[in-house]
Amino acid sequence: MKNIAILGSTGSIGQQALDVIDNHPDKFTVEVLTANNNVDLLIRQAKKFHPNVVVIANEEKYNIVNEALAQENIIVYSGLSALAQVVEMGSIDLVLTAMVGYSGLIPTINAIKAKKQIALANKETLVVAGDLINKLAIENSVDILPVDSEHSAIFQCLAGEYMNPVEKILLTCSGGPFFGWSTEAIAGVTTKDALKHPNWDMGAKITIDSATLMNKGFEVIEAKWLFGLKPEQIEVVVHTQSIIHSMVQFCDGSVKAQLGLPDMRLPIQYAFGFPERLANQYPRLNFADYPTLTFASPDKEIFRNLALAYEALNKGGNLACILNASNEVVVEAFLKGRISFPNIWHVNEQIMQQSSYVRNPTLADYIETDREARAYTMEFVDKL
């Protein structure tokens, strides 16, 4: 039995992770559930799965959760510090980091230091501080198992290929709802338009990032740290059907691909059960339903966020941390109707140019970089 802590249990990934656990009660049990604000769902989850500990990050909602679970023999904590510390519990075997954005960094660091196996769904942790995270993982002999469908696919393609050189990896990309659109058409995109992802069911932040290809840019950076690759070894390929989740090309020119229906429960289950593949009753891929699989190159001129991610990857240092901080602010501003869709990448580019660059950042540098970049971005957005 593997005891699992789910950081961000009320989000899309967290909910699907609980579905995986519910389907394998003989393999997994829930030790910790955490949420930011969604108390109603958190309470329902706690009553169903009976974790030992629940954390609500918003301290103002502590009493609501505590009173609702008073008869459940569940310990309730609140606040960001409690969320960061709960991962150190001795009873936890694996931590699923399913929080959105920069907020996942410190809890993931603490979990690694506590020698917990990590199922990583919070790509921003590696985007912001990949070098630091990798060093900590090595020092503490901790496995980082990818949960993003693309990185899980690469991980699966590399199984049994340890001694064989990788020429490059191909990260597939749905293209989002605006693939093939012109610059003029993109300029008129509304929030409602951008929240309609063609293939995946995700939260608002990730859905907007997918529409701007920022999500794919972050996955490029994440892949560098997960698999020890150079920027030129990571290629993005638009595959609108989202059936091939990613591919690896080896030194002999052969390519391995991992295929399946777009269902996040599959990579979550793979990370939870690794190295064992667990049976399930999820829908199966019928190739007759997909007689045509198409591939294209992304347009980095229209979708500038992808180009910015490669720029951050090539320059290194704290530049990806700057990009992530800026992007979190501008996406929130777009969701609130304060800026246009193209301004998301226009602002990101400006903030990357004007923020303080640190070539070899420490954790303190990353924290200060995030604070500074957010402040610059807020000021910039206010002037638009």
Is residue 37 situated within a structural domain? Answer: yes
pLDDT at 103: 87
Which of 49-63, 123-137, 191-205 shows the lowest mean pLDDT across its residues? 191-205
Is residue 152 situated within a structural domain? Answer: no
pLDDT at 384: 85
**Is the same domain home to 331 and 204?**
yes
Supply the CATH number for residue 188's domain: 1.10.1740.10
Is the confidence at residue 368, as pLDDT, over 90?
Answer: yes
Is residue 155 situated within a structural domain? Answer: no
3-state helix, strand, coil in the chain (%, to 5): 50, 15, 35
User: Could you tell me the pLDDT band of residue 142, with boundaries at 50, 70 and 90?
Assistant: very high
Average pLDDT, integer, range 60-71? 96
Average pLDDT, integer, range 367-384? 95
Supply the CATH number for residue 85's domain: 3.40.50.720
**Is the same domain home to 195 and 308?**
yes
> Domain end: 116, 146, 176, which one?
146
**Is the same domain home to 345 and 279?**
yes
pLDDT at 199: 64
pLDDT at 201: 64
pLDDT at 111: 97
CA angle, corner 355, sides to 350 and 357, nearest 5?
125
**Is the same domain home to 196 and 98?**
no
* Percent of the chain residues past pLDDT 90, beyond the cut: 92
**Is the same domain home to 140 and 173?**
no
User: Could you tell me the pLDDT band of residue 200, with boundaries at 50, 70 and 90?
Assistant: low
Strand order in the sheet with 234-238: 234-238, 166-173, 244-250, 255-259
Residues 108 and 89: their CA atoms lie apart, in Å, by 13
Query: Under a CB-based contact definition with an 8 Å cutoff, are residues 233 and 168 in contact?
Result: yes
Distant-in-sequence, close-in-space partners of 19: CB < 8 Å, separation ≥ 6: 265
Which of 63-77, 201-215, 229-243, 328-342 shows the lowest mean pLDDT across its residues? 201-215
**Is the same domain home to 189 and 291?**
yes
The 10s digit of each residue's pLDDT in 285-343 is 999 999 999 999 999 999 999 999 999 999 999 999 999 999 999 999 999 999 999 99
Is residue 153 situated within a structural domain? Answer: no
**Is the same domain home to 174 and 118?**
no
Is residue 77 situated within a structural domain? Answer: yes
**Is the same domain home to 141 and 173?**
no
Strand runs labelled E in 163-251: 166-173, 234-238, 244-250
**Is the same domain home to 128 and 62?**
yes
Segments forming the whole domain that contains residue 31: 2-146
0.85 exceeded by pTM: yes
Q: Residue 178 corresponds to which tokens in the numbers above?
A: 């605006």
296 DSSP assignment: B
**Is the same domain home to 13 and 97?**
yes
Residues 282 and 160: their CA atoms lie apart, in Å, by 26
> Domain end: 113, 146, 179, which one?
146
Is residue 159 situated within a structural domain? Answer: no
In 3D space, the residue among 44, 58, 38 whose CA is nearest the CA of residue 103 turns out to be 58
Give the position of tokens 């069911």: 201
Arithmetic mean of pLDDT over the chain: 95
> Domain end: 146, 178, 202, which one?
146
User: Could you tell me the pLDDT band of residue 204, with boundaries at 50, 70 and 90?
Assistant: confident
The 10s digit of each residue's pLDDT in 75-131 is 999 999 999 999 999 999 999 999 988 889 999 999 999 999 999 999 999 999 999
**Is the same domain home to 244 and 378?**
yes
In 3D space, the residue among 187, 195, 207, 224 whose CA is nearest the CA of residue 309 turns out to be 224
Number of domains composing the chain: 2
Is residue 137 situated within a structural domain? Answer: yes
> Torsion angle of alpha carbons 177, 189, 98, 46, nearest 10°?
-100
Average pLDDT, integer, range 257-275? 97
In 3D space, the residue among 267, 263, 285, 290 whose CA is nearest the CA of residue 277 turns out to be 267
**Is the same domain home to 259 and 377?**
yes
Is residue 161 situated within a structural domain? Answer: no
- Sign of the CA dihedral with 231 first, then 237, 242, and 248 last: negative
